[in-house]
Amino acid sequence: MADEEGSRPLSGIRGKPAGKEKWLEYEERREALYAFLLILPALIIVFLVIAYPLLYSLWISVNNVDFVRQRWTFVGLKNYLDILPKPEFQMAGVRTVYYTVLSVVGSVGVGLLMALVLNESFKGRNVMRSLVLVPWATSGVVIGIIWRWIYDGETGVLNGVLYALGIIPDYVPWMSEGVRALTLTAVAHIWAAAPGSSLLLLAGLQAIPPSLYNAAKIDGAGAWQRFWRITLPWLRPMLLLAVILSTIGGLMTFDLIYVMTRGGPGSATTVFSWLGYTTTYQFFRFGEGTAILYVLTIACLILAYFYGKLLSREQMY
Partner 1 sequence: MAQTVVRKTASAEKEQARLPRLRLEVGEDFGKRAALYAAVALIAFWSLAPFLWLVVLSFSEIVDIVTKPPRFLPIPLKLINYQTLFFPQSGLGGYSKIEQVGKMPSAFVNSAIVAIGVSLLCLVIGSVAAYAYARYQRYFFHRATFFGLIMTRMIPGLTLSIPFFIFYKALGLLDTKLGLIIAYSSFLLPLTIWIMKGYIEGIPISLERAAMVDGCTRLQSLFKVILPVCTPGMIAAGIFVFMAAWNEFYFALILTSTQNAQTMPVVLAGFAVHTGRVTELPTLFAGSVVGSLPPLILALVFQRFIVQGLLVGASKG
Question: Cβ of residue 61: shortest distance to partner 1, in angstroms?
Answer: 9
- How far is it, in rounded angstroms, from Cα 182 to Cα 257? 9
- How near is the Cβ of 72 to partner 1 at its closest, in Å? 11
What residues are paired with 64 via a beta bridge?
73
Helix H or strand E segment including 71: strand 71-74
- Residues contacting partner 1: total by CB under 8 A: 116
Instruction: For residues 229 and 237, give the distance between their C-alpha atoms in angstroms, rounded to a whole number.
Output: 15
Whichever of 155 and 176 has its CB closer to partner 1, that residue is 155
* CA–CA distance, 271 with 257 (Å, rounded to integer): 9
Task: Give the nearest distance from C-beta 80 to partner 1 in angstroms.
Answer: 14
Span from 11-19, 93-101, 173-181, 229-237 in contact with partner 1 (CB under 8 A): 11-19
Nearer to partner 1, 91 or 243 (CB): 243
Applying CB under 8 A, among 95, 147, 181, 268 the residue interacting with partner 1 is 147
Residue 262 amino acid letter? R
191 vs 268, beta carbon nearer partner 1: 191
Report the Cα 258 to chain-centroid distance in Å: 18
Residue with smaller CB distance to partner 1, 36 or 283:
36
Q: Is the CA virtual torsion 90, 91, 95, 96 positive or negative?
A: negative
275 touches 89 (CB < 8 A): yes
Determine if 126 is a binding residue for partner 1 (CB under 8 A). Answer: yes
- Side chain identity at 232, as an amino acid letter? L
Q: Is 167 exposed, middle or buried (0-12, 13-18, 19+ CB in 10 A)?
A: exposed
- The yes or no reply on residue 258 touching partner 1 (CB under 8 A) is yes
Maximum Cα interatomic distance, the chain, rounded to a whole number of Å = 94
User: Are 283 and 83 spatial neighbours (Cβ–Cβ below 8 Å)?
Assistant: no
Q: Is 74 in the site for partner 1 (CB under 8 A)?
A: no
Q: How far apart are CA 78 and CA 96, in angstroms?
A: 23
Q: Are 198 and 114 in contact (CB under 8 A)?
A: yes
**Under the criterion CB under 8 A, does residue 146 sit at the interface with partner 1?**
yes
Binding residue for partner 1, selected from 102, 114, 205, 257, defined by CB under 8 A: 114
* Least distance from partner 1 to the Cβ atom of residue 291, Å: 10
Using CB under 8 A, pick the residue from 104, 132, 205, 268 that binds partner 1.
Answer: 132
* Smallest gap from residue 32 Cβ to partner 1 (A): 6
Q: Does 168 bind partner 1 (CB under 8 A)?
A: no
> What does the alpha-carbon distance between residue 107 and residue 243 come to, in Å, rounded to a whole number?
9
Residues 205-244, interacting with partner 1 (CB under 8 A): 218-220, 242
CA atoms within 13 A on the CB side of 36: 6
Task: Name which position in 108, 200, 235, 257 contacts partner 1 (CB under 8 A).
Answer: 200
Closer CB to partner 1, residue 91 or residue 303? Answer: 303
Residues 266-305 that bind partner 1 (CB under 8 A): 273, 276-277, 280-281, 286, 289-290, 293-294, 296-297, 300-301, 303-304
- Among 175, 251, 257, 271, which residue interacts with partner 1 (rule: CB under 8 A)? 251
| Interaction between residue 154 and partner 1 (CB under 8 A) | yes
